[in-house]
Structure 1
Amino acid sequence: MVNRDDFFREVTIRICSSLDIKTALRNAFDYLKLYFPLDTLSLTIHDVNISSIRRIANVAADNVDLPDEIIAIPKKLWKQIQAWKPIVPTIISSDRDDFFRILAPFIKLEGNSKILVPLLIEGKSLGSLILCARGEGRYNARHTGLLATVATPFAIALANALSYEKLLKYRDRLIDDNHFLNKELSTRAGGRIIGEDSGLKNVLDLVQHVAPLNNTVLLLGETGTGKEVIANAIHFASPRKNGPFIKVNCGAIPGSLIDSELFGHEKGAFTGAVDERRGRFERADGGTIFLDEIAELPPPAQVRLLRVLQNREIERVGGNKSIPVDIRVIAATHRNLENMVSENRFREDLWFRLNVFPIIIPPLRQRKGDIPLLARYFVRAKAMELGFALTPAIAPGAMARLVNYDWPGNVRELENLMEREVILHQGGQLMFDTLLPGGRKSENAVPKEVRNSPAPLRLDEAMALHLSDVMRVANGRIHGPGGAAELLGINPSTLRWRLDKLGIRHGRSKKTSEPLP
């Protein structure tokens, strides 16, 4: 016969032995097995808000422990759970008790004999400790009497575990916020915006007027014109510059996830929602949210966004509580929203809300004076990014080709071209001889293999074709007059390294290099 004081002390030591409730429960389980028939030991809490039982820890004699899980309970059964509130350890027989016979499959209680120990603090129910053993009549009054002495330590351990879990969530939230903030801040354009004294002067005058205020801003312009750069400029020139700057590409989020992504979700809102999650609007609290490609929002999300703009409140998926948010909204699109409204593809009332302060960003073909500045900037930036010791020079007359080209892809296309040219002409001069006036590229500059290809080639594949052609022209020679390195304007060692990387056979690598698949 165990001494009750000793039993109390030993159980308390074990249940308080670890901040990890699963480890502590395992330690208690190993001791309780000495005095109880015991196959599984579970800690559960009842979540009234979502009519669910959450199993936060479960240990078993066979070491096959069940995971933390939220178990949805049918409405009729949930009412019985709410009405059945024992305050002392109670012996349950699943076969004889209709209530537990129905409940057992949901919470996976193994065994015919059970004791349910209510865990109370100051009369308030926190959850239950459930002991299970296979076979009938395994428990008696001696067992319930012993468990009554340790119900309070288990309740305190459960309360501490829930508090510790909450602290970990707050910590993870801070880490998550810091990650988001650093990611967003890392995209901030440094220094001056290229074109602020010429093609973008009118745009930046508008930015200067609206940045200090909290008004919603709508950025309009073709794809690749730099709408995100202007959004950065507005945020970092505003009183919110020290707050979060959260960017959302509305066209990149699947329709089934957009509500959860933007507005967050409550625990148990859908399958897999084990924890609550804040959405992008909550993350932006105290700062700015940038909604890029706003025209791609599906109609239901447009309705919810309208409510946010009107009330500055959001409601999480699965929740019924309004959460105030202090945010500034900047939206952007390359589409004609007015036409979309007339075609019933975009809500008129939402358009009115967004169109408070529109800023139209001109395409690059209307900013010809900015092209030389942008080209030189991208050449320097790409050479540095690629780790090249020398920055390629733009050949005399080559800049005219850039200026005369129409740039249908705008600044993004210019940036991509500069990157390609810097890669192909390391240390040499950039000619841009693939460009023709009017937004066309020279067909002769496109390799035959590329022209006949049903799909665009990857950059490495295009480079491999180009280098192979040059090697054929040079009769396989890399260095010396007329060698491939001289034709390409790069160092012979650099060319050998690139040939090896692309799997192109040459003099020294015929035995070891394999061709590209």
Structure 2
Amino acid sequence: MNIDEKDFFRQVTLRICGSLEIEKALWQCLLYIRDFLPAGQMSLHIYHRDVGVVETVANATFEGFRAMSLKSQLSDETRRNIEKQGLIRVRIIPRLGDDPVCSPVAEKFNALDLPAVVSDLVLERKLLGVLAIFGNGRIPFTEAHLKLIGIINEPFAMALTNSLRYRELQKLRDLLADDNRYLQDELRRMVGEDVIGADSGLKPVMDLVRQVAPLDSPVLLLGETGSGKEVIANAIHKTSFRRQAPFIKVNCGAIPPTLMDSELFGHEKGAFTGALSQKRGRIERAHTGTLFLDEIGELSLDAQVRLLRVLQEKEIERVGGSGPIAVDIRIIAATHRNLETMLNTGAFREDLYFRLRVFPIFIPPLRSRMMDLPALVQHFIQKKAREMKRSPAPELAFGALERLTAYHWPGNVRELENAVERALILSRGEPLIFDDIAPKTDKLPGNPAFPLSAPVPENLDLNAMTSHHIRRILDMCKGRVEGEKGAARHLNLHPSTLRKRMRKLGIPFGRKTAGRQSPAG
């Protein structure tokens, strides 16, 4: 068959350059060249010389095409052979399974017994990758076929180069999108994460936050799981001089030990198998901002050593990197574990502990600040109703607040949030009951169960609900504000703070209650 080589070159070039999607362009070429070559399928492969990996990026058959990222690790011997033999433009491989370079890839395509024509794609004397044309299993390849494929080698090399550049642009786009997600998370925190109880149950905590926030000193947040450590960490960041910079969270307990170094410090291309591109770690992302290390007690001893260096030297080194990278970060750590006990057992480094424990803040559990519960309930009802697109938000049923107050909340604020969400799902537009939280007779040591005979009136706003709660505690305490049996003790508030809140809400106390209640403390 006489072939017009110039027209063949032009037609293939038009098709390979006709789409930004390299896999689609490859398929269009296959449909054209099958009239000239015994081709069954085609594939494009990138050779990552520095890591010895062949990556299949596109495959086309008569049925269709697909983009992929299929990586095949070459042995050291095969890599040496590639370097030794140099660049070979086009060659016939009678059986792919017999070729040490092609067999790892051919095996993944079930093509070990097929012949192929392989063309090294070279630009400026640099091996970029390989174009593989698999035989159809019926007609063998000939020298004439080799000549035709040699004609189209350069267009495919240029197409692969453009594809690589396009991939880099996509990586940059993904990197920007990734940074944008972090910034969006930060923005959501800044506009929608108020500290409920900042003027009551968490007032001592917030006083400490205001003292330490303007400084760069490390902060260690201590408290039970779900008590609100991340909210406090965010409050510190929001009121610091770093508030315009990133707030990056690392859940130390959720990252496998094998990935911890890569996640914290990042890695260079080729640092390990599969590291085909450079990656910035969480610490590097937090540069000029705040790094929040949640569940710091879950860090391995090896990771603790490397974190200590960050605190001491203010620099990191990526996995596989050749030099240090300076970082300017403020560290806030948090844990529910007893780090002093871990020191005694050797599970936590003493030098790291004292570096982190410059300014410890203890966040009390929810059961110790029940004064905040009505406000928290109302906050979560409004928040979850918005998320579920429920308008108006449901009200509390009679006795619901008392039931919630009588429960001991081992999961703290997080458990309360989940309970509100569950109640909203089950409510079907009815008032929220919470009858699965605790029996009506449930008691907490030191916090007697409150009688359900005094239901919460309907349609109360937050201040009215808080007022109702305080009045009920006062009734239980026979009007006494302070002392061992006073309302302030039950509400975990300083008596003067409780009186201030009562005055604001118009709740009488002291002489104003004479003749109606026992004298207040």
Q: TM-score normalised to the size of structure 1?
A: 0.69
Task: State the one-letter code of the partner of 1:298.
Answer: S
C-alpha distance in structure 2 between counterparts of 1:418 and 1:27, whole Å: 56
Q: 1:436 is matched with which residue: 438, 443, 449?
A: 443
- Give the match for residue 249 of structure 2: 247
Q: 1:154 is matched with which residue: 153, 156, 159?
A: 156
1:117 aligns with 2:119: yes
1:91 aligns with 2:96: no
**How big is the shift at 1:86?**
1.9
1:34 aligns with 2:39: no
**How big is the shift at 1:192?**
5.6
- Give the match for residue 102 of structure 1: 100
- Give the match for residue 225 of structure 1: 227
Q: Residues 41 and 410 of structure 1: is their aligned pair in 2 closer, same or farther, counting only changes over 3 Å?
A: closer
SS of residue matched to 1:162: helix
Sequence identity (%):
45
C-alpha distance in structure 1 between counterparts of 2:226 and 2:67, whole Å: 51
- Give the match for residue 54 of structure 1: 55
Q: 2:179 is matched with which residue: 154, 177, 180?
A: 177
Matched-pair contact (CA < 8 Å) for 2:226–2:413: yes
C-alpha distance in structure 1 between counterparts of 2:420 and 2:58, whole Å: 57
In the TM superposition, 1:213-362 aligns within 5 A as: 213-255=215-257, 257-263=259-265, 279-314=281-316, 325-362=327-364
1:139 aligns with 2:146: no
Unaligned runs of 5+ in 1: 446-517
Q: Residues 61 and 82 of structure 1: is their aligned pair in 2 closer, same or farther, counting only changes over 3 Å?
A: farther
- Give the match for residue 71 of structure 2: 70
- Give the match for residue 495 of structure 2: none
In the TM superposition, 1:310-459 aligns within 5 A as: 310-314=312-316, 325-363=327-365, 371-379=370-378, 381-382=380-381, 385-386=384-385, 387=390, 391-392=395-396, 402=405, 410-412=412-414, 426=431, 434=441, 436=443, 438=445
Query: CA-to-partner distance for each residue in 1:82-135, whole Å, 9 max, x for gaps?
Result: 222225x3323456x99x622332121656654432322222221222334347
**How big is the shift at 1:10?**
1.3
Q: Residues 340 and 429 of structure 1: is their aligned pair in 2 closer, same or farther, counting only changes over 3 Å?
A: closer
SS of residue matched to 1:50: coil
Q: 1:130 is matched with which residue: 132, 148, 167?
A: 132
Matched-pair contact (CA < 8 Å) for 2:193–2:231: no
**Larger deviation, residues 294-303 vs 106-115:** 106-115
SS of residue matched to 2:221: strand
Unaligned runs of 5+ in 2: 453-521
SS of residue matched to 2:99: helix
Task: State the one-letter code of the partner of 1:218.
Answer: L
Q: Residues 32 and 192 of structure 1: is their aligned pair in 2 closer, same or farther, counting only changes over 3 Å?
A: closer
**How big is the shift at 1:16?**
0.3
Q: Residues 441 and 296 of structure 1: is their aligned pair in 2 closer, same or farther, counting only changes over 3 Å?
A: farther
Task: State the one-letter code of the partner of 2:141.
Answer: R
C-alpha distance in structure 2 between counterparts of 1:191 and 1:118, whole Å: 57
SS of residue matched to 1:166: helix
**How big is the shift at 1:161?**
0.6
In the TM superposition, 1:3-42 aligns within 5 A as: 3-42=4-43
RMSD: 4.4
Paired residues, number: 436
Query: CA-to-partner distance for each residue in 1:329-383, whole Å, 9 max, x for gaps?
Result: 211012221221121011223213322332233445665xxx4354235236426
**Larger deviation, residues 179-188 vs 149-158:** 179-188
Q: Residues 385 and 441 of structure 1: is their aligned pair in 2 closer, same or farther, counting only changes over 3 Å?
A: farther
Task: State the one-letter code of the partner of 2:431.
Answer: Q
Matched-pair contact (CA < 8 Å) for 2:200–2:372: no
**How big is the shift at 1:75?**
0.8
**How big is the shift at 1:21?**
0.7
Task: State the one-letter code of the partner of 2:445.
Answer: G
Matched-pair contact (CA < 8 Å) for 1:44–1:55: yes
Matched-pair contact (CA < 8 Å) for 1:263–1:317: yes
Matched-pair contact (CA < 8 Å) for 1:219–1:227: yes
C-alpha distance in structure 2 between counterparts of 1:23 and 1:413, whole Å: 51
**How big is the shift at 1:261?**
4.4
**Larger deviation, residues 129-138 vs 227-236:** 129-138
SS of residue matched to 2:50: helix
- Give the match for residue 464 of structure 2: none
Q: Residues 322 and 143 of structure 1: is their aligned pair in 2 closer, same or farther, counting only changes over 3 Å?
A: farther
Q: Residues 377 and 67 of structure 1: is their aligned pair in 2 closer, same or farther, counting only changes over 3 Å?
A: closer
**Larger deviation, residues 280-289 vs 344-353:** 280-289
Matched-pair contact (CA < 8 Å) for 1:260–1:316: yes
**How big is the shift at 1:139?**
2.2
Q: Residues 150 and 339 of structure 1: is their aligned pair in 2 closer, same or farther, counting only changes over 3 Å?
A: same
C-alpha distance in structure 2 between counterparts of 1:214 and 1:121, whole Å: 51
Task: State the one-letter code of the partner of 1:92.
Answer: I
Matched-pair contact (CA < 8 Å) for 1:406–1:438: no
**How big is the shift at 1:304?**
3.5
Matched-pair contact (CA < 8 Å) for 2:295–2:334: yes
SS of residue matched to 1:164: helix
C-alpha distance in structure 2 between counterparts of 1:331 and 1:253, whole Å: 16
C-alpha distance in structure 2 between counterparts of 1:61 and 1:427, whole Å: 60
SS of residue matched to 1:35: coil
Task: State the one-letter code of the partner of 1:175.
Answer: A
